Structures are given as structure tokens and as C-alpha cells.
Amino acid sequence: MKDCIFCKIVRNEIPSYTVYEDDIVKAFLDISQGTPGHTLVIPKKHIANIFDYDEELASEVFARIPKIARAVKASNPDIKGMNILNNNGQVAYQSVFHSHFHLIPRYTNNDDFKMIFKDNSKKYSPDQLKAIQESIEKHIGD
């Protein structure tokens, strides 16, 4: 896509610190470096978000993530773990609308990355959970 910043990175029209690429994906350092080594994995094909993957592209892209994650982890002995994050839609903090996966190395529980969601386990009755489950289940394969 012409004006997409990540398509421009794929075409090398703007520079990136690329750590891996092949015919399907490109992986490069996120400019924000949430923690050192923070890397983005993107499909070379422009798709906006997770809802636009077909099974073939998903299997090709997802299959590559573990080996890139292992390389990031191996790059620094202080990396003890990793969060893999994928934001879809503005409401979910997506700011670049070319699908991407954040590989965020974790050094300690108290480094620069925080992820907070409420424990709402007491808020929903079994009937409410059943209704949610059924409404999702009936749309699998849409």
C-alpha cells in the first residue's frame, strides 16, 4: 500500500534495523524500544489486522515467530522472558494499520513494560459465561 509506513519499510523506502526477512515476513526493531530488543514482525503483504488473515498467511507468518523470538532472546543473556503482543484496532492501541506482532523482551518484573487487565472473574455468573461462550462459538469459521 502506497502510503503505509510499514509497506515503505518492506520496500526499503524508509530505513529500519532489520533483524530477519524472507519472502513472507520482515522483522525489525521497534523504534520505541519499549525494552531493549523490542522487535516487530510483520507480513510483507499489507493487511490491516488479525481479522484479515486467511489460514495460509496466518500459518506462514505465525510459523516464523518462534525462531525470531528465540533469536531475540539469544541476543542478550539478561532477557528472561518475552511478551508477544498484537494490537488490532484503535480501541486496542493499534496505531499502525499494517498488521504486526510486538516481541517485547522481559528483563525483570519491574522493567519498562507493563500489562494491566482487571480480574473480573467474580463479575460474571456461569449463565453469563455460557452465553458469551455460545455467541463466540457460533461464529467460528465466519
Rule CB under 6 A: is residue 95 a binding residue for ligand AMP? Answer: yes
- Eight-state DSSP code of residue 50: G
Residues between 52 and 111 with contacts to Zn ion, criterion CB under 5 A: 98
**Could you tell me if 41 and 27 are in contact, meaning their C-beta atoms sit under 8 angstroms apart?**
yes
Residue 102, strand partner residues: 40, 85
Please tell me whether residue 139 adopts helix, strand or coil conformation: coil
The 101-130 contact track toward ligand AMP, x by CB under 6 A, reads ------------------------------
> For residue 39, how many other CB atoms are within 10 A of its CB?
25
Rule CB under 6 A: is residue 88 a binding residue for ligand AMP? Answer: no
Among 11, 12, 22, 32, binds ligand AMP (CB under 6 A): 32
The 43-82 contact track toward ligand AMP, x by CB under 6 A, reads ----------------------------------------
Q: What are the grid coordinates assigned to 64, written together?
A: 516464523
